Amino acid sequence: MAKVAFIGLGVMGFPMAGHLACEGHEVCVYNRTPGKTQLWEDEFAGESAATPREAALGAEFVMTCVGNDDDLRSVVLGPDGAFAGMAAGSVLVDHTTASANVARELALIAAEHELGFLDAPVSGGQAGAENGMLTVMVGGEEAFYKRAEPVIDAYAKMIKLMGPVGSGQLTKMVNQICIGGLVQGLAEALHFAQRAGLDGHAAMEVISKGAAQSWQLENRHQSMLAGKFDFGFAVDWMRKDLSILLDEARRNGAQLPVTALVDQFYAEVQGMGGGRWDTSSLIARLNQHS
Ligand SMILES: NC(=O)c1ccc[n+]([C@@H]2O[C@H](COP(=O)([O-])OP(=O)(O)OC[C@H]3O[C@@H](n4cnc5c(N)ncnc54)[C@H](OP(=O)(O)O)[C@@H]3O)[C@@H](O)[C@H]2O)c1
């Protein structure tokens, strides 16, 4: 069992840190808003600290799961940041969905302090975090990965080292490109089924056994047909992810015409007041004039 710090007790981090405690790791948590820290301590065995630096003192592994690149820098760097508290040889595992560039930037600074750094974004959503069934895509040095893998295993069903630092974030971008086009396709299919006078549920039941089957179809068609979006992975977060990957595509020359269009559709959903709606709310945009 390891001594682990966990920074960021959001929708994802709260249950992930909980799984570490339930596995028997010695966990110290930090969250910017202290109320969530108290809730975590009420539910799980572990300690809390007032700053990321204090949480990281003596930890073999420091996990972070915050919002974006700047949020990550703010909990890792500076006098109160995690790096300031970490001892030589310890490893920071970042679960934030962030850019590959910030991963490379932080890995360089970590190396100057004789620390390890792994970018390790996750897929599987809130349910995956709560059930400990996340997919974790990792970038970084193999030696750090081998040490961290058994700890990450507390909340994962699939963990894979994808290559050098940044490769985890690049793989997560591949994941989000798939999801953007797929959810728009599903939204159009359901919108069409309704306009065609079909029973949308029956249509999904039958096509889910054929080549159109997907996780999104299985898990989202009912709430999409019902127009319910107050759960899941927020449109605001998806736009953050799309902005990161479109930026990366401009650098590597990848052509992402559909993804760029879906990003604009999500901007329209934000304009409808749907920033916190689940990403499946693309159908609300199609149905708004129905
Ligand atoms: N939700 C999902 O389904 C899902 C799935 C896969 C990946 N992700 C990714 O995982 C990350 C976390 O998502 P989430 O859904 O857990 O988000 P969330 O519920 O909004 O939680 C964000 C966490 O980050 C902390 N935070 C944000 N900015 C900070 C800053 N500047 N300084 C210190 N702490 C800061 C927040 O602290 P406060 O409590 O003080 O606000 C909170 O603990 C994101 O990068 C997201 O894209 C999410």
Q: Which domains does the chain have, with CATH numbers?
A: 3-163 (3.40.50.720), 170-289 (1.10.1040.10)
224 lines ligand 1 (CB under 6 A): no
Q: In this structure, are residues 161 and 145 in contact, taking their beta carbons and an 8 Å threshold? A: yes
The whole-number mean pLDDT for each consecutive block of 10 residues of the chain, a chain of 290 residues, reads 97 97 98 97 98 98 98 98 98 98 98 98 94 98 98 98 98 98 98 98 97 96 97 94 98 98 98 97 92
Active site residue 172: yes
Ligand 1 pocket test, pick from 48, 65, 131, 276 with the greatest ligand atom count within 8 Å of Cβ, gives: 65
Instruction: Provide the pLDDT for residue 4.
Output: 98
Instruction: Provide the pLDDT for residue 232.
Output: 87
Instruction: Provide the pLDDT for residue 188.
Output: 98
Q: In this structure, are residues 117 and 107 in contact, taking their beta carbons and an 8 Å threshold? A: yes
Which bin fits 99, alpha (ψ -120 to 50), beta or left (φ > 0)? beta
CA of 95 to the centre of ligand 1 (A): 10
**What residue owns the CA closest to ligand 1's atom 3?**
125
Instruction: Provide the pLDDT for residue 279.
Output: 97
Per the residue annotation, which of 36, 157, 160, 172 is the catalytic one?
Answer: 172
Instruction: Provide the pLDDT for residue 289.
Output: 73
pTM of the model: 0.95
C-alpha distances out from residue 24 to 21, 27, 108, 272, 279, Å:
5, 9, 32, 45, 35
Instruction: Provide the pLDDT for residue 230.
Output: 94
